[in-house]
Amino acid sequence: MKKRVLITGAAGFLGSHLCDRFIKEGYRVVAMDNLITGDLKNIEHLFPLEDFEFYHHDVSNYVHVAGDLDYILHFASPASPIDYLKIPIQTLKVGSLGTHNLLGLAKAKNARLLIASTSEIYGDPLVHPQDESYYGNVNTIGPRGVYDEAKRFQESLTMAYHRFHGLETRIVRIFNTYGPRMRLNDGRVIPAFMGQALRGEDITIFGDGSQTRSFCYVDDQVEGIYRLLLSDYSDPVNIGNPNEITIGDFAEEIIALTGTDQKVVYRDLPQDDPLKRRPDISLAKKILDWEPKVGREEGMKLTYDYFKSLSTEDLNKRDHKDFTKHIRR
């Protein structure tokens, strides 16, 4: 009998790649997404498959799935700062109410739940690189706090269910991840730089370019998540690529990759934007025998090829996603 997995946020960037992986591994996949930030284009190739089913649903409301479930992966959440600054309450709700609903479902189904946490729980870190023992440096009431605190609460709630109810849970702390199916207009640095390069626009850097990021290719991230789900380790685990680069140097890499010659322009750094971000992945190496395999040069070329394949209409979508119909005043 094939095992059955529920993936929330399934039409999003990471969620859709997880759907692909679990189908490939022989699971029956139940995909769920409210399509606020997700896109059915990311999973439409799976619709004809007998082992794939999709539910259009917001997990902040009660979640019902008929039949058995072996695993639940909770990946529903806005993940780009522009998204969660525009829909802050929905971001808090999916991390709190959504997580609570899925913990209840996991308990009822006797399923193992893996939650997608984030390096953002470390905030603007005072420790570098960041390992899992670091408590973080987060502004709880700043504009970005809606995402950071939703994820921190999600971790607390998950561990409470694990300790009090004996629920099988896993927590992955995801660092910057990139690859095909990223939204070109989601405001994050890789799609922003690549979109600007492909359209022949100036490359925009927020701050002076000295802030650092560490980028993990999506296939490596999915492999780490898959191994963690099937492991017997219940505390949080960092999954990311420790190869760090300044945003200024990264802009130069993008210009070299795209073969364009536009100039770099600088804008003010947004409030509470972290100045450094690099995972310590010693724990993942030890307990999962995992480390990233795809180098930045290879991964960026694959991502660039994906963005190049977009239609002219998609490529020219500079305006950010409109959430008006999802907001109640």
Per-residue pLDDT at 327 exceeds 90: no
Burial grade of 200 (CB within 10 A; 0-12, 13-18, 19 or more): exposed
Q: Residue 271 has which token pair?
A: 């409030």
Q: Which residues contact 315 (CB under 8 A, 6 or more apart)?
A: 184, 195, 198, 199, 307
Instruction: Identify the CA nearest to 223 among candidates 240, 235, 236.
Output: 240
pLDDT of residue 55: 98
Residues with catalytic annotation?
147
Per-residue pLDDT at 329 exceeds 70: no
The predicted-structure confidence for 161-178, as pLDDT tens digits, reads as follows 999 999 999 999 999 999
pLDDT of residue 325: 73
Per-residue pLDDT at 318 exceeds 90: no
Residue 77 contacts residue 94 (beta carbons within 8 Å) = yes
Per-residue pLDDT at 324 exceeds 80: no
The predicted-structure confidence for 250-294, as pLDDT tens digits, reads as follows 999 999 998 888 888 898 877 767 788 999 999 999 999 999 999
Residues 115 and 167: their CA atoms lie apart, in Å, by 13
Partnered with residue 246 across adjacent β-strands are 212
pTM to 2 decimal places: 0.96
Q: Which residues contact 218 (CB under 8 A, 6 or more apart)?
A: 13, 14, 17, 177, 178, 179, 180, 181
Q: Give how far Cα 153 sits from Cα of 149, 157, 267, Å.
A: 6, 6, 32
Phi, psi of 53 (to 5 degrees): -140, 150
> Which superfamily is assigned to 4-179+218-241+273-293 in CATH?
NAD(P)-binding Rossmann-like Domain (3.40.50.720)
Tell me the domain boundaries of the chain: 4-179+218-241+273-293
Per-residue pLDDT at 316 exceeds 70: yes
Helical ranges in the chain per DSSP H: 13-24, 81-86, 88-109, 145-165, 189-199, 218-229, 247-258, 282-288, 296-308, 312-315
Residue 123 contacts residue 137 (beta carbons within 8 Å) = yes
Confidence of residue 319 (pLDDT cuts 50, 70, 90): low
Average pLDDT over residues 218-246: 98
DSSP 141: T
pLDDT of residue 186: 85
Average pLDDT over residues 96-119: 98
